[in-house]
Amino acid sequence: MNWILAAEGTGGNSNVLLPPTYELVIGTIAFFTIFFLLSKFALPNIKKTLEARTESIEGGIAKAEKMQQEASITLAQYRQQLSDARSEAAKIRTAAESERTNLISEARNEAQAVAQTVTQQANAQIEAEKSKAVNELRLDVSKLAIDLASKIVGASLQDDARAKAVIDQFIKDLESAGGKR
Amino acid sequence: MANFISLAEVTCKFGDQACPFPAPGAGIFEWRAITSLNLGITSIDITKPVILALLCTVIVSVVFLAAFARPKLVPTGLQNVVEVGYLFVRDNIAREIMGKDGDRFVPLLTSLFFFVWTMNVMAIIPVAQFPVSSRFAFPVVLALIVWLLYMFLGMKNQGVVGYFKNIAFPPGMPIGIYPLLTPIELLSTIIIRPVTLAIRLFANMFAGHLLITVFTVSAWYLLNLTNFVGFVSVIGYLGSIVSFFVTIVLTGFEMFIQALQAFIFTLLTAVFISSSLHAEH
């Protein structure tokens, strides 16, 4: 185990500033071994991985930015659609309102027209009934008067033209008397 | 055998006139060879620093290969941890100094940083307890590789003549200052840069290990029961306890220095490479 311990004065070369050849050789071999293994095998791997990592991070950021942009565009679209829908609803409501007013006034006009027609028809009918009744009454009255006169006079005046004229005169007087009253 | 400094063999104790404090010296950085491999041109002594250096190679390689064998987009476990280290080198060293140009050099800088750091950390790993980078050879080799690389890159990117011209005559200076500036710039870029790079790392780790050893030995040395009783032994105990706590504090401090020196080494490498890629304006 002596080699584990430093030895003073062993070996011919005790000047620390004069390196022995074998150590120079070992040092050179040692460094170039490390340099070869690291530069050929270890470091290219990690370089590639770090580049891939940077790429994926940058890619992720770009993707996120793109998505955000898309989201804000979609939001604007939705807002536009919403306000469109609102104005359309308002338009529809206004249209419905005016249509309702139109319908009501139309119905009212129609109803008024129908009522007028009905009134006119009723009036005409009443008038017709009235004139019919007057005519019938007139006949009845003349007949009654003749009957009465016949009874009074005691003679039939039925076919007598003169009698007819008298009766007509009588009725006329009646009418004018009724009109005066 | 008599010159070993080890807890098992230090028999000296505080108060023993014949046995002064066995201050650790440069000797604690010298190691016996377990065995020696003869390769014809040169022979390789297998010493503890050599074993530790190879161990560092294995640790760094295996950790990185295991962590990044099948890296996941969402990291977990080991990948998560090693990724932090890798990103630190890439973002705080390579890109900080060289910008996008730095990406080409990330494998080199990562290898440098983690190799140096692991070698430094060996100083406080139990049983290992020796900073491999306190053996001058290892910083020298790394600094030499860095030097060759930035000299080559400079000549490749600015032309052989252009590179040395740009070093010797930095543009935008008043002509009168060149006699003073040219030798300094040439000396600084070609010689002082690699030398200080190697020495800075080596000296920091050397000094740190020496400090920890001094206080560890002192904690043992002052722990005296046999030679004295009473007052003197109380002083010895107090000294021992203080030394022990200083050792712990220094160990914590060393952990910081180990990472810092690895960082500085890698950062300066990035700065040197960067200055070779583009002429100074």
Token couple for A78: 């939705």
**Is B64 in contact with A43 (Cβ distance < 8 A)?**
yes
**pLDDT at site B1:** 31
Q: Residue B134 and residue B27: Cα distance in Å, rounded?
A: 12
- Average pLDDT for A31-52: 93
Is pLDDT of B7 > 50?
Answer: no
Question: Which residues, in sequence order, are bridge partners of residue A90?
Answer: none
Q: For an interface test with B, give the residue of A16, A28, A41, A47 to mutate (most B CBs within 10 A).
A: A16
Task: Give the per-residue pLDDT at B170.
Answer: 84
* A62 exposure class (CB count in 10 Å sphere: 0-12, 13-18, 19+): exposed
Instruction: Using a CB–CB cutoff of 8 Å, tell me whether A7 touches chain B.
Output: yes
**Rounded-to-integer distance, Cα B258 and Cα B269, Å:** 17
Question: Which of A21, A35, A43 lies at the smallest CB-CB distance from B42?
Answer: A21
| pLDDT surpasses 80 at B101 | yes
What does the DSSP assignment read for B63-125?
HHHHHTSS--SS--HHHHHHHHHHHIIIIIIIHHHHGGGGGGGHHHHHHHHHHHHHHHHGGGS
Closest residue by Cα to residue B141 from B61, B207, B219, B57: B57
Is pLDDT above 90 for A101? yes
Check if the beta carbon of residue B37 is closer than 8 Å to that of residue B44. Answer: yes
Chain A interface, best mutation among B110, B114, B149, B205, by max A CB count within 10 A:
B110
The least confident of A147-151, B158-162, B166-170, B189-193 is: A147-151
* Beta carbons of A49 and B111 less than 8 Å apart: no
β-strand partners of B38: B43
> How high is the ipTM of this complex?
0.90
pTM of this prediction exceeds 0.80: no
Residue A69 and residue A130: Cα distance in Å, rounded?
90
**Domains of chain A, residue spans:** 15-180
Whether pLDDT at B123 is above 50: yes
Residue B268, Cβ neighbours under 10 Å: how many?
Answer: 19
Contact B44 A22 (CB under 8 A): yes
Give residue-wise pLDDT tens across range A80-99: 999 999 999 999 999 999 99
pLDDT, tens only, B218-227:
888 887 655 5
Radius of gyration of chain B (CA): 24
The pLDDT tens digits for B31-41 are 888 888 888 88
- Per-residue pLDDT, averaged over A138-145, amounts to 83
pLDDT the model gives residue B260: 97
pLDDT of residue B77: 87
